Amino acid sequence: MAELERHSFDVLVIGAGGAGLRAAIEAREHGMRTAVLCKSLFGKAHTVMAEGGIAAAMGNVNSNDSWQVHFRDTMRGGKFLNNWRMAELHAKEAPDRVWELETYGALFDRTADGRVSQRNFGGHEYPRLAHVGDRTGLELIRTLQQKIVSLQQEDHAETGDHEAKLRVFQEFTVSDLLVEDGRIAGAFGYWRESGRFALFTSPAVILATGGIGKSFKVTSNSWEYTGDGHALALRAGASLINMEFIQFHPTGMVWPPSVKGILVTESVRGDGGVLRNSEGKRFMFDYIPEVFKEKYADSEAEGDRWYTDADNNRRPPELLPRDEVARAINSEVKAGRGTEHGGVFLDVSTRLPAEEITRRLPSMHHQFKELADVDITAQPMEVGPTCHYVMGGVEVDPDTGASSVPGLFAAGEVSGGMHGSNRLGGNSLSDLLVFGRRAGTGASDYVSALPVRPVPSEAAVAEAQATALAPFSGEGGENPYTLHMELQQAMNDLVGIIRKAEEIEQALERLEGLKARARTLTVEGHRQFNPGWHLALDLRNMLVVSECVAKAALLRTESRGGHTRDDYPGMDPEWRRKLLVCRTTGPSEVDVEVKAQIPIREDLLELFDRGELEKYLTGDELGS
């Protein structure tokens, strides 16, 4: 084997978004020699794209807010499938994580009396999203990076080396985790630029790799979201849960084609934007589901009054959870009441003065002007659903982020459970900080208690290298770009926003075909910056993750949150008690098993009215 670049750390964090950076800070503060590896440039992660804000029950704009209300909203949003312990920790700890960010140097928008301002978002009972205009993720990443630099300065003062305890490796893609005797021993991957390989030995790995959107044709996600962490975890022996639940954000751009899918933040609706069909009707009033009827206005007049008097009016249905709004838009377009380009209208221009729009939504104003030549201060936007977020992910212990594989931890979008069947807007940024911190502690405690550190075997390293090089050895085989396009089309058309058994079965057949063809993938050229090769390796991950999504979607014969079955339109309380758990059984075979959901703790159940619980829980769960 050629000379291999080798590094050794106490904790490896894969991913430099909010979850990864917060985890790395925590591990370093626990005294661990920590490395952060990221596939893109440092600072370029999905977190930086987050627009609307970070949800935390600080009660700054409405003092009725509390962790209990946030917990309730999160459970309702996830249709009670959430891991309730995660939802509890999240609701309780999110305010501290926001305050902590300010100690790192973040500066959130302020209320008139100088408190952190909070805005309305779908599914949140009170204004709860702390924000920085519509560029909140940028501020979050900026300050987490700043904190890392300040820790490195401390390390320099102490040791003379900035990177003595915390080091960042950017544009490095992890292609395999190394496991010895069932325990994590390190990670193997390649530098994007040179294509050269490197081995990182470490007894603990924290996955913080984000989501899977690039398996779908229309998505708000960018090139890094190829489900790598999900697939790495599966191949290392960990399990994934809730993979059938994919969030289609209701408002992505639909025109022009080159920008289809790019996100239009929910803040547009939170700040007063309304949805209309091609007949000019504010159609969301026709789509308020029974379970939410009591909480939402049933007339435009009441919905409009809510923006200025939230205590005495109910919120407008444009602010229903995302799954409800996405399905409603889909139905309007299907019924022939869509716009010329297959979306609906989202209008804030008739609701707020132009200067207020440019102040509150500067990025949206810029995005539409630059990309679609639409001035949102004077014209409506055309919007439609776009694949945005995966609720499913690595099954973890809520308190520590530990997976079932010793030494493997996960936090952020790559982990599963917290959001149940549907995530509320703003709950991801808070999830990253709450569980990033917890995973950092979990991994540090694990390493501290480890009597002997596992060492990756040379055979495992050689195998990882051979797998990475395989696409160069074929001749005249499949082109990775063709396979990727076919995969995206199949997932979009057959396992998309509305699903039915025959279509999912067709998707699974196509996936089998794609998997077989992927074995003869061929890439041209050599390893130096070769995007075709990178895609060939990413495809291995996208295919196995897509199989998890499709197999779980076929098994779950009900509709709930981000999983809508045309052939099983109702929500079934029996299914609420079941989690679908995915594991790999061979190099690319996925097995899905039903596992019982842990019953919700009694004191948390008592936070809800019994009448509401009856909509979700079975009679025996309610003791009736």
46 lines the binding site for ligand FAD (CB under 6 A): yes
428 lines the binding site for ligand FAD (CB under 6 A): yes
Q: Report the residue number, 236 or 617, with the smaller CB distance to ligand FAD.
A: 236
Q: Report the residue number, 408 or 571, with the smaller CB distance to ligand FAD.
A: 408
190 lines the binding site for ligand FAD (CB under 6 A): no
CB count within 10 Å of CB 587 equals: 11
Contacts of 513 (CB under 8 A, 6+ apart): none
With CB under 6 A as the contact rule, the residue among 25, 53, 184, 556 that binds ligand FAD is 53
Helix (H) or strand (E) holding 119: strand 118-119
45 lines the binding site for ligand FAD (CB under 6 A): yes
Q: How many CA atoms lie within 13 A of 431 on its CB side?
A: 30
Q: Report the residue number, 127 or 573, with the smaller CB distance to ligand FAD.
A: 127
- For ligand FAD, which stretch binds (CB under 6 A), given 12-20, 319-327, 462-470, 513-521? 12-20
Report the side by side order of strands in the sheet with 246-253: 246-253, 381-390, 344-347, 274-276
Q: What are the C-alpha distances in Å from 196 to residues 169, 255, 466, 494, 536?
A: 14, 40, 13, 38, 16
With CB under 6 A as the contact rule, the residue among 11, 81, 168, 174 that binds ligand FAD is 174
Active-site residue set? 322
- For ligand FAD, which stretch binds (CB under 6 A), given 235-243, 358-366, 379-387, 424-432? 424-432
* C-alpha triplet 534, 264, 370: angle, nearest 5°: 80
Q: Report the residue number, 49 or 539, with the smaller CB distance to ligand FAD.
A: 49
18 lines the binding site for ligand FAD (CB under 6 A): yes
Q: Do 19 and 411 meet the contact criterion of CB atoms below 8 Å apart?
A: yes
CB of 115 to ligand FAD, least distance (A): 20
CB of 502 to ligand FAD, least distance (A): 31
19 lines the binding site for ligand FAD (CB under 6 A): yes
224 lines the binding site for ligand FAD (CB under 6 A): yes
First-residue to last-residue Cα distance in the chain: 66
With CB under 6 A as the contact rule, the residue among 122, 380, 426, 573 that binds ligand FAD is 426
3-state helix, strand and coil shares in percent for the chain, rounded to the nearest 5: 40, 20, 40
317 lines the binding site for ligand FAD (CB under 6 A): no
- The whole-angstrom separation of Cα 38 and Cα 150 is 20
Residues that contact ligand FAD, how many (by CB under 6 A): 41
Specify the pairing of strand 408-410 against strand 204-207.
parallel
74 lines the binding site for ligand FAD (CB under 6 A): no
- Overall size of the chain counted in residues: 624
Residue 329 DSSP code: H
Using Cβ positions, the residue closest to ligand FAD within the complex turns out to be: 17
Nearest to residue 23, comparing CAs of 402, 440, 447? 440
**In the block, residue with structure tokens 């991994």:** 443
321 lines the binding site for ligand FAD (CB under 6 A): no
With CB under 6 A as the contact rule, the residue among 16, 328, 391, 461 that binds ligand FAD is 16
With CB under 6 A as the contact rule, the residue among 51, 88, 318, 478 that binds ligand FAD is 51
* C-alpha triplet 58, 264, 432: angle, nearest 5°: 40
CB of 557 to ligand FAD, least distance (A): 28
The two structure tokens encoding residue 183: 């325990």
Q: Report the residue number, 84 or 188, with the smaller CB distance to ligand FAD.
A: 188
CB of 390 to ligand FAD, least distance (A): 9
Q: Report the residue number, 262 or 297, with the smaller CB distance to ligand FAD.
A: 262
Q: Report the residue number, 425 or 573, with the smaller CB distance to ligand FAD.
A: 425
Q: Report the residue number, 429 or 487, with the smaller CB distance to ligand FAD.
A: 429
208 lines the binding site for ligand FAD (CB under 6 A): yes
136 lines the binding site for ligand FAD (CB under 6 A): yes
78 lines the binding site for ligand FAD (CB under 6 A): no
- The whole-angstrom separation of Cα 370 and Cα 393 is 35
CB of 412 to ligand FAD, least distance (A): 3
- The whole-angstrom separation of Cα 229 and Cα 235 is 10
- The whole-angstrom separation of Cα 187 and Cα 62 is 46
Nearest to residue 555, comparing CAs of 246, 244, 231? 244
- For ligand FAD, which stretch binds (CB under 6 A), given 56-64, 89-97, 421-429, 481-489? 421-429
- For ligand FAD, which stretch binds (CB under 6 A), given 38-46, 317-325, 330-338, 615-623? 38-46
413 lines the binding site for ligand FAD (CB under 6 A): yes
Q: Which amino acid is located at 390 in the chain? A: V
Q: Do 495 and 504 meet the contact criterion of CB atoms below 8 Å apart?
A: yes
125 lines the binding site for ligand FAD (CB under 6 A): no
Contacts of 6 (CB under 8 A, 6+ apart): 198, 199, 200, 201
- The whole-angstrom separation of Cα 277 and Cα 116 is 36
CB of 521 to ligand FAD, least distance (A): 18
202 lines the binding site for ligand FAD (CB under 6 A): no
94 lines the binding site for ligand FAD (CB under 6 A): no
50 lines the binding site for ligand FAD (CB under 6 A): yes
Maximal C-alpha separation, the chain? 72
Q: What are the C-alpha distances in Å from 227 to residues 35, 366, 531?
A: 21, 30, 17
429 lines the binding site for ligand FAD (CB under 6 A): yes
49 lines the binding site for ligand FAD (CB under 6 A): yes
Q: Report the residue number, 314 or 322, with the smaller CB distance to ligand FAD.
A: 322
Residue 274 pairs in a beta bridge with 347
Q: What are the C-alpha distances in Å from 419 to residues 374, 458, 563?
A: 34, 40, 13
Q: Do 199 and 6 meet the contact criterion of CB atoms below 8 Å apart?
A: yes
The two structure tokens encoding residue 196: 């050269």
Helix (H) or strand (E) holding 592: strand 590-596
**In the block, residue with structure tokens 């991950």:** 541
495 lines the binding site for ligand FAD (CB under 6 A): no
Q: Report the residue number, 137 or 316, with the smaller CB distance to ligand FAD.
A: 137
231 lines the binding site for ligand FAD (CB under 6 A): no
With CB under 6 A as the contact rule, the residue among 82, 152, 202, 220 that binds ligand FAD is 220
233 lines the binding site for ligand FAD (CB under 6 A): no
The SS3 of residue 404 is coil
With CB under 6 A as the contact rule, the residue among 210, 272, 385, 442 that binds ligand FAD is 210
Q: Do 127 and 118 meet the contact criterion of CB atoms below 8 Å apart?
A: yes
Residue 580 pairs in a beta bridge with 594
403 lines the binding site for ligand FAD (CB under 6 A): no
By the criterion CB under 6 A, which residues form the site for ligand FAD? 14-20, 37-40, 45-47, 49-53, 136-137, 173-174, 208-210, 220-221, 224, 228, 263, 389, 412-414, 425-429, 432
